[in-house]
Structure 1
């Protein structure tokens, strides 16, 4: 078994700087090389093992020997970690009770309390609101003949919808997006202290705002998810304010971030493919298939990490120690040529469609049903209303490798 980085064969190592524009503008070229050599490899820049095969990623996302957190089974001292940085205390507080990071039983308790708001039968009721919002936004810029689509269309739809669900006033939706965008920079490779401090300030402002809303709802309850989190009980226990704050921030951030990226990436992909737009949105079933292919072809999230909760020996010759981190490469798994025919071809009519863009296992994205509906409606409405949609500038991706989305999308019709 491979037990140290020194013992790793060169064929199983790879290097790619996540901050290099050549890489993050097109990580798929790197993935092609990985798939052709060793889909399980040690990424030197990150300093941990990564998995790019669809089968392996899908299995490891469900493997209970791995977790999103590790400090529930090991101390920082035991892991050799430094103490937390005081200047990111607010960011840490916002993340402390995040569903994305917690493991059972805390994860189970929190997810159970909010899950019912996101099940398919609940979010299906939002279709008329999403359609009205999409048409309203297009009404606002259609006469101009051109627009920057990320800020004018892709971002407002999911931001407004998730804000309304949780109980954030519509006029605050784009402020939520601004806070979220600053917080997400913490996931960049090689984060600077200036970035950390800015993300921390955004977290502090976000936390303060959510606490204000919580105080208001205690006095004047309404029909929203925030009120539900305040009043809901499970086994006689209620959520603490810190748990509500973390959960609300996670839902607001995750409730728009990936959908914004997918919308922009999808519009770019569809336009560049030259494919018949009427055909790919010809029916509800085909629209759903088109969205799934968009999620596969240019995923909004490219890496999730997990910790080994104990010493583990994997079948493919990798030995991990308790606390070791691994990278599960969603974007690469979705382009695995072993799993998909013509993996690098955008084909909304493919019969082998599937993706891991929403994750799998207990951390499968709670908002997946909502995101799918938003994408189905927003993309079909956009191309129905603006059939001549075309790019007016070469799109470029943000310098945040994990979160794969466009900086801007200049289009005309």
Structure 2
């Protein structure tokens, strides 16, 4: 890592093993030199302080989409390579990648079936699934938690919510992992080809499932989205399928990391051993080791932020993980403090793109983590946690745990 303070340039390989294991020292140095630096490896400016991040998330001059206000020639962009068109055709139709008025319409239609009261009714099912998973490894005295627990809860719940058959869950995981590789720096042509094939397989699968639900609706999200698309304000077939893919991918990827990071944090900081893990503790785990560290926006007009001028179309990195460790917002930020006062963490984003799945993610953590610690007294780390080289996501590839068995 190197910072050119005069030119406000950050040189940092996000795949560096030291950074993968612990990015927070680097964030502290960047924030002290910033609060905004140009990250050379990404080719855009990034905000590292809490005040700047939270303001940018709500700044309507910044957006996830830019081609609604500028053309590719104006921006100096090449056309999307032909081999990537199938991926971006789907990705570009999701609410996450759109701005008003299209975003407003898409989010409104999806939100009808994804509001908190719909999610809350899943509490008993999350609890029963959590117990069932623990039943599968409790007598072993040890488990690798990411595969046996952290992955299974969110993917099962989002699949059931949407109405995807249980037997297809492993296919969903495979498609999701291949698709999200597109968002990582340094992706290869092989990564791109895998993401495109996963997209095409995912779309074909959902087309068949949507057609089945049109013929025989059920009490699931896909059926409700079809019903919503039949009203005056419609979801097109392509928008419906893109929305389902977004909900399936985003509905489990980040939550897997949140569960793994949360359990590791609680064990390392010696909290939760008696199973009394309240909602405030869950929020602190989300702040202390959030599963998404960078969210990007485009400047929708010429503007100035933190003393830096931007032209329309410039990209800006909003560093959620760095904001959550800003000592001006959270004194002693590396300590997990359930009684911490201060601003709400931005781990789920903010503004019009605040994570639509936040109620479900929070509920899964609030239910699953206390049950895990209650069921496995003496739970402890049984190996060095292994973090994935998958920045801007922050998550574990393996978390070996053990506990005494009588």
- What is the alpha-carbon distance in structure 1 between the residues aligned to residue 244 and residue 217 of structure 2? 16
Q: CA RMSD in A?
A: 1.5
- What is the alpha-carbon distance in structure 2 between the residues aligned to residue 322 and residue 48 of structure 1? 13
- What is the alpha-carbon distance in structure 1 between the residues aligned to residue 229 and residue 197 of structure 2? 32
Q: How many residues align?
A: 400
- What is the alpha-carbon distance in structure 2 between the residues aligned to residue 74 and residue 340 of structure 1? 39
- What is the alpha-carbon distance in structure 1 between the residues aligned to residue 113 and residue 379 of structure 2? 35
1:353 offset after TM fit, Å?
Answer: 6.0
Cα distance 1:156–1:276, how it changes in 2: closer, same or farther (>3 A)? closer
Partner of 1:411, secondary structure, is strand
Asked if the contact 2:113/2:224 (under 8 Å) is kept, the reply is no
Alignment of 1:10-409 (within 5 A): 10=6, 12-233=8-229, 236-275=232-271, 277-278=273-274, 281-282=275-276, 287-314=278-305, 316-352=306-342, 354-409=344-399
Any idea what the Cα deviations from partners look like across 1:190-241, whole Å, max 9, x if unmatched? Answer: 1111111111111111111111101111111111111111121487132111
Deviates more, 1:101-110 or 1:344-353: 344-353
Partner of 1:277, secondary structure, is coil
Partner of 1:237, secondary structure, is coil
- What is the alpha-carbon distance in structure 2 between the residues aligned to residue 240 and residue 252 of structure 1? 18
Asked if the contact 2:273/2:379 (under 8 Å) is kept, the reply is no
- What is the alpha-carbon distance in structure 2 between the residues aligned to residue 123 and residue 63 of structure 1? 29
1:248 offset after TM fit, Å?
Answer: 0.1
Asked if the contact 1:341/1:352 (under 8 Å) is kept, the reply is no
- What is the alpha-carbon distance in structure 2 between the residues aligned to residue 139 and residue 196 of structure 1? 39
- Runs of 4+ in structure 1 off by over 6 angstroms are none
Gaps of 5+ in 1: 1-7
Asked if the contact 1:134/1:381 (under 8 Å) is kept, the reply is yes
Cα distance 1:212–1:42, how it changes in 2: closer, same or farther (>3 A)? same
1:274 offset after TM fit, Å?
Answer: 2.0
Any idea what the Cα deviations from partners look like across 1:231-283, whole Å, max 9, x if unmatched? Answer: 214871321111011100000011111110000001111111123522xx53x
- What is the alpha-carbon distance in structure 2 between the residues aligned to residue 215 and residue 246 of structure 1? 15
1:354 offset after TM fit, Å?
Answer: 2.5
Asked if the contact 2:329/2:343 (under 8 Å) is kept, the reply is no
- TM-score, scaled to structure 1: 0.94
Any idea what the Cα deviations from partners look like across 1:82-106, whole Å, max 9, x if unmatched? Answer: 1111212221122021111111111
- What is the alpha-carbon distance in structure 1 between the residues aligned to residue 5 and residue 24 of structure 2? 23
Asked if the contact 1:311/1:321 (under 8 Å) is kept, the reply is yes
Gaps of 5+ in 2: none
- TM-score, scaled to structure 2: 0.95
Cα distance 1:9–1:149, how it changes in 2: closer, same or farther (>3 A)? closer
Partner of 2:86, secondary structure, is helix
1:36 offset after TM fit, Å?
Answer: 2.2
Asked if the contact 1:99/1:107 (under 8 Å) is kept, the reply is yes
Asked if the contact 1:109/1:234 (under 8 Å) is kept, the reply is no
Asked if the contact 1:11/1:38 (under 8 Å) is kept, the reply is no
1:47 offset after TM fit, Å?
Answer: 1.4
Asked if the contact 1:163/1:252 (under 8 Å) is kept, the reply is yes
Partner of 2:158, secondary structure, is helix
- What is the alpha-carbon distance in structure 2 between the residues aligned to residue 388 and residue 89 of structure 1? 51
- What is the alpha-carbon distance in structure 2 between the residues aligned to residue 11 and residue 346 of structure 1? 35
